[in-house]
Structure 1
Amino acid sequence: MIAVIDYGMGNLHSVAKGFAKVGVEARVTSDPRAVVEADGVVLPGVGAFGDAMFNLRHLGMLDAIRRVVKEGRPLLGICLGMQLLFSESEEHGRHVGLHLIPGKVRRFQGDFKIPHMGWNDLTIRRPDHPLVDGVKNGDFVYFVHSYYADPQDPGVVVADTDYHVRVPAIVAKDHVMGMQFHPEKSSDIGLRMLRNFADLCGERVGQA
């Protein structure tokens, strides 16, 4: 079973429905014990970085997430959830993140539309990564965000996109992975990547 962490940030059930479309059970939970017992864990989210870390801490999720990572089970952050994987964010001050992937979350700067909202094409940097199995350069996915990750090690970037700067769209460090876009809103390509994540978790997968 894949656990989708419910910490009061965003429409988490849409992620669970995305997994259901590919024949995978994903359970939305706010119970740290269910997270620790899961085959894989998804950390989604929409909203402010600082509020998200506060809620995770209040629910006792920080230790559960770190135990999942220590034991080598797959963890996937989506949108805000991906940003939380990094060391810190400059959103409304400085906020410490999970520090599972070293780096900083920065705000877009420039005379262009913020937030970045809409469909953008992917450039695959690590085509051998199982998360992008069946995904091609130029495939489009759906983004909504005002901040982007700036990893210390550019080697963690599996795929990126261009929005006036190169924006890491998919990152991975060992069993810790993140997608800045919303796979559950990204048509067949997004569902394919959810299915790929489920494969990494050892979940039985049906046909989309």
Structure 2
Amino acid sequence: MELTSAPAKKVVVLDYGFGNVRSAERALARAGAEVEITRDYDRAMNADGLLVPGVGAFAACMEGLKSVRGDWIVGRRLAGGRPVMGICVGMQILFARGIEHGVEAEGLDEWPGTVGPLKADVVPHMGWNTVEAPPGSQLFAGLDADARYYFVHSYAVHDWSLETGNPAMRAPMVTWATHGERFVAAVENGALWATQFHPEKSGDAGSQLLTNWIETL
């Protein structure tokens, strides 16, 4: 009897003008996904997984996202329990608000919290750093505690306040990192996962992390 392998999971990289979409596409393909870069509403809605990249300023990213109905896409997918992953500013805009240069902008408000300036001797935080992943993390499964990931950012979330309030539901899993001060480096919360660092630029560790996400789709 001939065995057939399962079809590759289909992942859309949302193209809204504010992300390294080609790097993300290559990294996801290496991790075993069938990848498409698009801003098409229906294709983004129907993919097994949606990746939301992000570089630049919080407010500009939000404007770009709304211009392609990305806010609707993310909200509708999550309402149906369909996986979404944010990267870098693509993670930051999932929070309630961002403050850059004294200007406050509204985020997607999937999580409470404010993205604010990172207080450290050297900013931006640019380069390799370790993280503190919680026990039982699916995102960091199979990765050593001393694995390093590539960060490029000047802003971060410094507090986490969301709890499920329901003992039957799995509590969000929050991973932390430190650069001058402690900040949120990754979140696993039901169908919504995100990283402050760039897994697509994080070598073998980043590839394993993306494989872990794809395997949950």
When normalised by structure 1's length, the TM-score is: 0.91
In the TM superposition, residue 79 of structure 1 has moved relative to its aligned partner by 0.5
Q: Is the 8 A contact 1:124 1:136 kept in 2?
A: no
Runs of 4+ in 1 over 6 A off after TM superposition: none
Q: Which runs of 5+ in 1 are unaligned?
A: 202-208
Aligned residue in 2 for 1:204: none
Structure with more of its chain in helix, by fraction:
1
Cα distance in 2 for residues equivalent to 1:45 and 1:138? 26
Aligned residue in 1 for 2:166: none
Q: How does 1:69-108 map to 2 (within 5 A)?
A: 69-92=78-101, 93-108=103-118
- Which of 175, 188, 205 matches 1:172? 188
In the TM superposition, residue 48 of structure 1 has moved relative to its aligned partner by 0.7
In the TM superposition, residue 158 of structure 1 has moved relative to its aligned partner by 3.0
Aligned residue in 2 for 1:186: 202
Q: Is the 8 A contact 1:157 1:168 kept in 2?
A: no
Q: What SS does the aligned partner of 2:19 have? A: coil
Q: Is the 8 A contact 2:150 2:198 kept in 1?
A: yes
- Which of 135, 138, 141 matches 1:133? 141
Q: What SS does the aligned partner of 1:159 have? A: strand
For residues 92-130 of structure 1, the C-alpha deviation after alignment (integer angstroms, 9 at most, x for no partner) is 4111101111111011134x11100000011122x2121
Cα distance in 1 for residues equivalent to 2:132 and 2:137? 13
In the TM superposition, residue 137 of structure 1 has moved relative to its aligned partner by 1.4
Aligned residue in 2 for 1:206: none
In the TM superposition, residue 78 of structure 1 has moved relative to its aligned partner by 0.3
Q: Is the 8 A contact 2:16 2:67 kept in 1?
A: no
Q: Is the 8 A contact 1:121 1:161 kept in 2?
A: yes
Aligned residue in 2 for 1:31: 40
Q: What SS does the aligned partner of 1:132 have? A: coil
Cα distance in 2 for residues equivalent to 1:60 and 1:73? 17
Q: Is the 8 A contact 1:79 1:181 kept in 2?
A: yes
Aligned residue in 1 for 2:6: none
Cα distance in 2 for residues equivalent to 1:117 and 1:200? 30
- Which of 115, 121, 125 matches 1:116? 125
Aligned residue in 1 for 2:168: none
In the TM superposition, residue 136 of structure 1 has moved relative to its aligned partner by 2.3
Cα distance in 1 for residues equivalent to 2:129 and 2:86? 19
Q: Which has the larger radius of gyration?
A: 2
| Higher RCO (CA < 8 A, seq sep 6+) | 1
Q: Could you tell which deviates more after superposition, 101-110 or 70-79?
A: 101-110
Q: What SS does the aligned partner of 2:139 have? A: helix
Q: Which runs of 5+ in 2 are unaligned?
A: 1-9, 164-170
Number of equivalenced pairs: 199
When normalised by structure 2's length, the TM-score is: 0.87
Aligned residue in 1 for 2:5: none
Cα distance in 2 for residues equivalent to 1:123 and 1:85? 21
